[in-house]
Structure 1
Amino acid sequence: MGRLPRVLVLATGGTIAGKADPRSAIGYDAGSTTGQQLVAAVPGVDRLAQLQVEQIANIPSQDMNHKVWFRLMERINQAFARHEADAVVITHGTDTMEETAFFLDTVLHHDQPVVMTGAMRPGSAISADGPANIYEAVKVAAHPQAKGRGVLVVLNDTIHAAHWVSKADSTVLQTFVSRQTGPVGIVDPAAVRFYGPPRPRLFLSLPDGATLPAVDVVYAHADMDGRQIDDAIRAGVKGIVIAGMGDGNVSAQAMQALDRAVRAGIVVVRSSRVGDGFVNRDVEVDDEAHHFVASYDLNPQKARLLLQLLLAGGVQDVQAVQRAFAFGY
């Protein structure tokens, strides 16, 4: 038998690191257990890989932020550059897992596997799902066919690609879905199975010392006026993502406010509050005339991140931004 692959486990907190709290029958406090404790509670995982565990943060994922993203990016780049690890597994809360996965998928330029996992139940709960998810995440990370697939999200026996995955249910174990495409594979204690070849990926590089500029998401609704958009303009944001109705629509008053945002030099991206479907250009809205960007398959939270990364890299031209959003389509 050959050498076991080396997997670096980076812990960030979340429900998977949570402990029960008596405030309710299902109450818990996220980020209460260390990564070392999490891995130690997974029977047989040491037979899959040589594991090294490091604590990057220990926070609930609603507190996830760009500083932790940057630390993850830097540590992963360092680990692969120094040949410290063959793959990385990240434990993370589920609420913002899709955003962290999308960020890392866009800024990491490696073929080595990076796999994210978490849990919908804390470790103290009946039938906690964390140990099985960690086991399967390590199994996927150690698999030869995981290379070149970008950042993967593994929970509940299912493998998702970062670009498409999103959280779809607030409580159930099968919360993650990839609505446009379906999952890219499945995993169980016996096997890892991918459904197809790796997909093309958009790579963006952050300049040294770069920060993520302010980009607001504004949620569209019936009887909407332009106040939230005008507030964002006054706040000096660099971008606005609309979580629009249907295929990215807003009211006439909100549309006028978005035009004011464009005239103020703010990049406007139309996304949708609907879970499925694409926001295409020039359908109900004349994007060309308004100088808007259509998000295509990206939900508002991922559209926000892509716009932040583009702006951080100096890409402000609306046509160039649109080409990035249309990558692969």
Structure 2
Amino acid sequence: MDNKQAELPLVSVRSLGGTVAMTTAEPGRGASPSVSASDLVESIPALQGIARIDAASVAAVPSASLEFGQLLDLAAELERACVAGATGAVVTQGTDTMEETAFLLDLVWDRPEPLVVTGAMRTADSVGADGPANLLAAVTTAADPLAAGRGCLVVMNDEIHAARTVHKAHTASVAAFASPGTGPVGRVQEGRVLFQSTFRRTEPFEIPSGNGIARVALLRLAFAGDTVLLEAAAGSYDGIVIEGMGGGHVPTWWVEPLLAAAQQVPVVLGSRTGAGHVLSRTYGYPGSEQQLLGGGLIPAGDLDGLKARILLTLAISTSNDRDSARKAFEQRVASRTNTP
């Protein structure tokens, strides 16, 4: 290592698997994990001019098989790396659950160093593989002082998204990730990180122990749906997130069992629409948001059901206080602000 490279920032890269680390061994057999974190880094010579890389593979699984404990252990490991001198961290993983895992990491990340999540939509051996470009942009972001204090960011297709708002919006496009209603907070362009907006962060959660993770059900309302799953969830889960219709509405026959469930466990009311805040005082008919919130349900604000479930899980897992879930949503939904 020459003197110039020794002066570069140190970035810790951890691989969890996913498409970015997959190749197709045999035609027609489908892709599977086969590329290590070190292999990923070594395949991108341009990284040598951006940062010193500490690379390691933590797992080699599709992101659909990731669990809370793995992500919380990873957050603790990366925190130790930053304490030891890393100026930023990058996680590579599959994209299927990236919007959820990034939000989970953001909620527990208690460091000023940037934590960046990235992946790929095309396998490493595909023509036009996007993994190398995404990892290059992610490391560029993690190494940039302008990214400090912004929590967990998702970098895909040269766009920088806040973990709180990012959403996978397409099954296969390399431009699959978007932030509905806000757009990306920045871009990586010509090797530079350009931020155009930010969010005020809230106090992170303490990392709960692996054995103390709450079980939270996510239920989505559908036309003429029955309440069988709701009633089962109320008796076996620690919390429930409901994706209601429209601004946060349910059929009349859902009201009684839903309000009863809210007396047993924390129940969060979101919307299945995918954009906008849950209403609070527009409608007053049976099954409306006013009736449900008045009966004890917690509003999800503009969080979709996937992210509301992550937040509720951490809120229940880190406190025995009955009001902790409501307080967690009030702090993290009400505090969001867009600033130039």
| 1:110-150 Cα distance to aligned partner (Å, 9 max, x none) | 11011111000001111000000011111111111010111
1:239 aligns with 2:246: no
Q: 1:307 is matched with which residue?
A: 312
Aligned AA (2:147)? A
Report how far residue 202 of structure 1 moved: 4.1
Of 210-219 and 154-163, more deviation after overlay is shown by 210-219
Structure 1 residue 248, shift from structure 2 partner: 2.3
What corresponds to 1:217 in structure 2?
A: 218
- Separation of aligned partners in 2, 1:325 and 1:210: 25
Q: What does 1:214-293 align with in structure 2 at a 5 Å threshold?
A: 214-234=215-235, 236-263=236-263, 265-283=264-282, 284-286=288-290, 287-293=292-298
Q: CA deviation at 1:280?
A: 3.1
Distance 1:40 1:137 in 2: 15
Identity of aligned residues (%): 34
1:94 shift after superposition: 0.6
- 1:154–1:160 CA contact under 8 A, matched in 2: yes
Alpha-carbon deviation of 1:290?
1.3
Asked if the contact 2:120–2:131 (Cα under 8 Å) also holds between the matched residues in 1, the reply is: yes
Which residue of structure 2 aligns with residue 316 of structure 1?
A: 322
Q: Contact between 1:136 and 1:187, CA under 8 Å: does it hold in 2?
A: yes
Distance 1:288 1:125 in 2: 49
1:61-96 residue CA offsets vs partner (Å, 9 max, x unmatched) = 01011121122111012112222x111011011111
TM-score (norm 2): 0.90
Could you list the runs of 4 or more consecutive aligned residues of structure 1 that deviate by over 3 angstroms after TM superposition?
Answer: 21-24, 206-210
Task: Find the aligned partners of 1:282 and 1:31 in 2 and give their Cα distance.
Answer: 49
Q: CA deviation at 1:192?
A: 1.4
| AA matched with 1:146 | A
TM superposition score normalised by structure 1: 0.92
Secondary structure, aligned partner of 2:224: coil
Contact 2:22 2:124 in 1 (8 A): yes
Which letter maps to 2:205? L
CA distance in 2, matches of 1:182, 1:30: 32
**Which of 4, 17, 30 is 2:8 aligned to?**
4
Gaps of 5+ in 1: none
Q: Residues of 1 paired with 2:279 and 2:306: CA distance?
A: 17
Query: What is residue 285 of structure 2 aligned with on the other side?
Result: none
Deviation at 1:108, TM superposition (A): 1.1
1:170 alignment counterpart: 171
Larger deviation: 282-291 or 187-196?
Answer: 282-291
Answer whether contact 1:293 1:321 (CA < 8 A) is retained. Answer: no
Separation of aligned partners in 1, 2:265 and 2:279: 20
For residues 187 and 102 of structure 1, the distance between their equivalents in structure 2, rounded to whole angstroms, comes to 21
Q: Is the alpha carbon distance of 1:220 and 1:194 closer, same or farther for their aligned partners in structure 2, counting shifts above 3 Å?
A: same
SS in structure 2 of the partner of residue 326 of structure 1 = helix
Give the structure 1 partner of residue 64 of structure 2. 62
CA distance in 1, matches of 2:174, 2:204: 31
Name the amino acid aligned to 2:23: K
Q: Partners in 1 of 2:76 and 2:267 — Cα distance?
A: 30
Counterpart for residue 22 of structure 2:
18
1:309 Cα deviation from its structure 2 partner: 0.6
Paired residues of 1:106 and 1:203 also in contact (CA < 8 A)? yes
The one-letter code sitting in structure 2 at the alignment partner of 1:34 is S
Matched residues in 2 for 1:46 and 1:186: separation?
Answer: 21
- Equivalent pair of 1:7/1:50 in contact (CA under 8 Å): yes
What secondary structure does 1:90 align onto? strand
Shift in alpha-carbon separation, 1:198–1:226, aligned structure 2, 3 A: closer
CA distance in 1, matches of 2:83, 2:88: 12
